[in-house]
Structure 1
Amino acid sequence: MKYNNPVIKGFYPDPSICKADGAYYLVCSSFQYFPGVPIFESKDLINWTQIGHCLTRKSQIQLDTVNSSGGVFAPTIRYNNGRFYMTTTNDTTRQNFYVWTDDIYGEWSEPVFVDQGGIDPDLYFEDGKAFFMSNGTDDYGVGGIVQCEIDIETGRKLTPSRSVWQGTGGRYLESPHLYKINGRYYLLAAEGGTEYGHMVTYARGDSPSGPFKAYPQNPVLTNRNLGGYELQGVGHSDLIQDDEGNWWLFHLGFRQIGRWLTFHHLGREVFLTPVTFGEDGWFTAGHNGTTLTSFETDRIPDTVIQQEKKVYTFENTDWNLDWCYLRHPATENYRLEQDKATLLGTELTLDVPASPTFIGIRQMDFRAAISCDVSLTNGEAGISLYMDEHHHYDLAVRKDESGYKVIERLNIGDIKSIENEVELGADNHAALIIKASHERYSFFVHADGKEILLGTAQTKYLSSEVAGGFTGVVIGLYVYGENSLAEFSNFKCKYE
């Protein structure tokens, strides 16, 4: 069969995967968004359904003072003796921790902290022992991939943290994962930084703690030299064996907006690449060590059809799964129903690193038509194409002393400009429309039986190359202002 990449679209970076009871489970980073660490399930590795989040309570993760692209960094999910474990980092508080559950569809535990620094933690289980790894500096001041043995019940270190591998010389050695395959231990990592130089590297040894010898042909997977190619930033991977014995890499990557336009705003996404082990025990990945937009493979039966959801509405999404908040929300300000959302505003705007009244869904493809009816009592309410508090485009209904109007506002760094407005008079309702393409967003209001164009803006100013950070554009519904109340209905996001 032929499958297309990415297999999970939109801002779902740093994938990690495990297998349990005939299904596969995958988690991703969530940074400043809540709930934290989305969980996906699949039976075939191609089609994924979100089933929950690992961090659903304020007691599990501190996000109140987290800057954009802070908070919850790369997670790892593992299954051992009937229990699921997810370990991650709160990069803002510099704490590594894990949570666990015996029911993948239920709630997860309170955090168990591990006194080891660095980011991108990993758990490896063998013979009743639990090994904890991260990137950073060990107890002796040596940098690299750092490992210790822990008491899995308490998180207490049973051995000193020791650097077990220093990588191949690329910058930002990170994303360690350890596996035992055919009697050898394989240590997977990422180097080069999660941008255009990103790459997957690995080494192997005869014990969980090494010494590890690097694969002679590292990097095993990278798109760093593919100029003019849509898929870039390939790295941060996790290895999985399917039920037929085939091996795969799940990894992040991103799609740039054009062949020669080196900007990406959808965030880092989830890609799937086949892996092949040689007789010498080393493995190769992808097409000559690169990832493609599609793979033809006989590893997956032709009966498996890759499904893709093209239309997202209030009615066919789940508020608790598909949608997210900025940091910890004041839940009393949200009334979320099957066909509408009623939001109560506060003095917090989208321009501050806090939790304004905002609920969003990730933008999952370049070409889209986004629409929503908005009714407002006071203040401002509308749709935001949100990258962070300094980079977002807003199409909103606003009330001032002259009545109601629709505004198009662009926020790019220190430049915040209302580009256009359409007067509504006493009418406090508007049908807002945003049309997205690879390179531009166009902003409309539907009035008098026609679409009125307010203006356009380039997508690249919401990209990671401009804004920085590690997230992607989230389509947010928001309201702010004293005594402001807004009702959102007829939401639709339709992808071409």
Structure 2
Amino acid sequence: MKYKNPVVKGFYPDPSVCKVGDTYYLVCSSFQYFPGVPLFESRDLINWTQIGHCLTRESQVQLRRVNSSGGVFAPTIRHHDGRFYMTTTNDTTHQNFYVWTDDIRGEWSEPIFVDQGGIDPDLYFENGRAFFMSNGMDDEGSSGVVQCELDIETGAKRSPSRTIWQGTGGRYLESPHMYKIDGRYYLMAAEGGTEYGHMVVYARGDSLHGPFESYSANPVLTNRDLGGYELQGVGHGDLVEDGNGHWWMLHLGFRQIGRWLTYHHLGREVFLTPVTFGEDGWFTAGHDGITLTSFNTDRIPDTVVQQEKKVYTFGNTDWNLDWSYLRHPAAENYTLSVDRAVLRGTDVTLDAASSPTFIGLRQKDFDATIACEIELSGGEGEAGLTLYMDENHHYDLALRRGSAGCEAILRLNVGDIKSVERRVALNETRTTKLRIRSGHERYHFFLVQGDREIAMGTAQTRYLSSEVAGGFTGVLIGLYAVGEGTESAFVEFECAYA
């Protein structure tokens, strides 16, 4: 069959995967968004359904005053002795920790902290023992992939932290994962930075603790030299075997907005690439070490059909799965139902590294039409749609009520430049419809009155890209309200992809 990449679209970076029985489970980074660490399942590796989050309580993760792209970094999911474990880093507090559950659809434990620094932690189990790895510095001051043995019940170290591999020389060594395959230990990681030079590298050895011999043809997977190719930034992968002797890599990558336009704003997404072991025990990945927009493979039966959801509404999304808050929300400011979202504003704006009244859905493709109707009531304030990259980079199409009356506005926020591009006075605000048309290179904003569209303006997508804004996230389509006493009801929301 032929499948298309990415297999999970939108801002779902740093994937990690494990297989239990006939089901695959996958987790991704969430940074400053809450709930933390989205959790997916699949039976065929190409159709993924979100079933929860690993971090659903404020007690599990500290996100208050966390800057954009801080907070929860690259997680790893593993299964051992009937229990699931997810380990991750809160990069803002500089703490590695893990949580566990015996019910993949239930609640996860309180965090168990590990006294080892670095980022991108990994757990490996063997013969009743647990080993922890991260990319950082060991107890002797040596940097690289650092390993220690853990008491899995308490998180206490049972051995010193020791550097076991220092990579192949590429910058920003990260994302270490350990596997035992056919009696050998394979240590896979990423280098080059999670940008256009990103790559997957690996080494192998006869001992869990090394020494490790690097694969002679590293990087095993990268799109770094493909100028003008849609898929870029390929790296940070995790291996999984499908039960039929075939190996796969789930990894991140991103789609740039145009062939020669090196910007991406949808975030880093999840890609699936076939892996093949040779007779010598070394493996290769993809098409000559490259990830493609689609793969023809006989590893997945032709009876499997890759599904793609094209329309997202209040009615066909789950507030607890598909939508995200900025940091820890004040629950009393949200009343969410199957066909309506009532948001109560505060004095916290979208420009603050705090928790404004905001709930967002990841933008999953370039071409889309986004629309909703808003009823604005209460005191002075505003409510509307935002295309949100971070507190310094977002485009807001909103209704605003002040002492002089009510108006519709388009505000563009790019770094220190915050400009209201257009204002349209409104006679009444009982129900007003807003619409955004999205393309690869531009967003187009409209106020809708009856059958008439009033153009509010346009804005380039590149100014919401990681190349301009920095950071590791992607655009969320947000509903928001600002202003003490302001209450807004969002009705008939729809995001339809072409």
**TM-score scaled to structure 1, two decimals?**
1.00
Letter matched to residue 408 of structure 2: V
Tell me how far apart the structure 2 counterparts of residues 381 and 429 of structure 1 sit (CA, whole Å).
12
Tell me how far apart the structure 2 counterparts of residues 429 and 447 of structure 1 sit (CA, whole Å).
10
1:123 to partner: Cα distance: 0.1
Tell me how far apart the structure 1 counterparts of residues 140 and 25 of structure 2 sit (CA, whole Å).
36
Cross-structure match for 1:443: 445
Cross-structure match for 2:492: 490
Cross-structure match for 2:30: 30
Q: How does 1:74-223 map to 2 (within 5 A)?
A: 74-223=74-223
Kept in 2, the 8 Å contact 1:15–1:238? The answer is: yes
Tell me how far apart the structure 1 counterparts of residues 45 and 208 of structure 2 sit (CA, whole Å).
28
Q: 1:478 aligns with which of 457, 472, 480?
A: 480
Tell me how far apart the structure 1 counterparts of residues 484 and 97 of structure 2 sit (CA, whole Å).
39
1:21 to partner: Cα distance: 2.5
Cα deviation, 1:57-101, whole Å, max 9, x if unaligned, reads: 000000002110000000000000000000000000000000000
Q: How does 1:76-475 map to 2 (within 5 A)?
A: 76-377=76-377, 378=379, 379-475=381-477
Local SS of the residue matching 2:59 = coil
Cα deviation, 1:406-444, whole Å, max 9, x if unaligned, reads: 100000000000000111123343100000000000000
Gaps of 5+ in 1: none
TM-aligned CA distance change 1:404 to 1:429, over 3 Å: farther
Kept in 2, the 8 Å contact 1:397–1:429? The answer is: no
Tell me how far apart the structure 1 counterparts of residues 309 and 243 of structure 2 sit (CA, whole Å).
26
Letter matched to residue 463 of structure 2: Y
Tell me how far apart the structure 2 counterparts of residues 491 and 427 of structure 1 sit (CA, whole Å).
17
Letter matched to residue 150 of structure 2: I
Letter matched to residue 284 of structure 2: T
RMSD: 0.6
Number of equivalences = 496
Cross-structure match for 2:18: 18
Letter matched to residue 406 of structure 1: A
Tell me how far apart the structure 2 counterparts of residues 328 and 477 of structure 1 sit (CA, whole Å).
16
Cα deviation, 1:448-488, whole Å, max 9, x if unaligned, reads: 42111110000000000000000000000000102100000
Cross-structure match for 2:42: 42
Kept in 2, the 8 Å contact 1:238–1:250? The answer is: yes
Local SS of the residue matching 1:73 = strand
Cα deviation, 1:338-397, whole Å, max 9, x if unaligned, reads: 000001100000000000000000000000000000111131000000000000000000
Tell me how far apart the structure 1 counterparts of residues 108 and 382 of structure 2 sit (CA, whole Å).
37
Gaps of 5+ in 2: none
**TM-score scaled to structure 2, two decimals?**
0.99
Tell me how far apart the structure 2 counterparts of residues 427 and 269 of structure 1 sit (CA, whole Å).
38
Letter matched to residue 254 of structure 2: F
Letter matched to residue 37 of structure 1: V
Local SS of the residue matching 1:59 = helix
Tell me how far apart the structure 1 counterparts of residues 95 and 150 of structure 2 sit (CA, whole Å).
16
Letter matched to residue 2 of structure 1: K
Letter matched to residue 10 of structure 2: G
Kept in 2, the 8 Å contact 1:323–1:361? The answer is: yes
Local SS of the residue matching 2:267 = coil
Kept in 2, the 8 Å contact 1:402–1:425? The answer is: no
Kept in 1, the 8 Å contact 2:347–2:482? The answer is: yes
Kept in 2, the 8 Å contact 1:406–1:430? The answer is: no
Tell me how far apart the structure 2 counterparts of residues 220 and 446 of structure 1 sit (CA, whole Å).
51
Tell me how far apart the structure 1 counterparts of residues 165 and 271 of structure 2 sit (CA, whole Å).
26
Tell me how far apart the structure 1 counterparts of residues 178 and 64 of structure 2 sit (CA, whole Å).
33
Tell me how far apart the structure 2 counterparts of residues 355 and 245 of structure 1 sit (CA, whole Å).
47
1:214 to partner: Cα distance: 0.2
Kept in 2, the 8 Å contact 1:397–1:428? The answer is: no
